[in-house]
Amino acid sequence: MTRSYIVSQILGGYLACAGVYFPFRYLFLQIEDVMQQRGVLDELQFTPQGPSGVFAFYVPLGQTVWGAWLSEFLAVNHSTQYVVVMFAH
């Protein structure tokens, strides 16, 4: 049961990323071309300001890892409670 849940979560994450990437692939490629021409692609690729910021959670400058964890924990906890309440009735 636990193994199937973990696999489902990972697969769902990949499918969600694909659902964002493929409809807008042409825009991502254009953005990367412009960033490459300006010489900032390598510097910004894996930051919140770069194209990868759409798919990954990067801790903003000045925020601690603890603060990022707490923010994500509260968001997940709140959304889980919302789903449980919606399906409980």
Q: Do 15 and 33 fall into the same domain?
A: yes
Q: Do 15 and 53 fall into the same domain?
A: yes
Each residue of 6-19: pLDDT tens digit?
A: 899 889 989 988 99
Neighbours of 51 (CB within 10 A): 18
CB 35 within 8 A of CB 41: yes
Q: Do 28 and 51 fall into the same domain?
A: yes
Quote the domain boundaries for residue 5.
1-57
Domain total of the chain? 2
**What is the value of pTM for the model shown?**
0.58
Q: Do 4 and 44 fall into the same domain?
A: yes
Q: Do 2 and 40 fall into the same domain?
A: yes
Rounded Cα distance between 86 and 26, Å, is 37
Q: Do 81 and 47 fall into the same domain?
A: no
Each residue of 24-83: pLDDT tens digit?
A: 999 999 999 999 999 999 999 888 888 888 877 777 778 898 988 888 888 777 666 666
Q: Do 52 and 67 fall into the same domain?
A: no
Q: Do 88 and 76 fall into the same domain?
A: yes
Among candidate residues 31, 55, 35, 53, the one with its CA nearest the CA of residue 43: 35
Q: Do 29 and 50 fall into the same domain?
A: yes
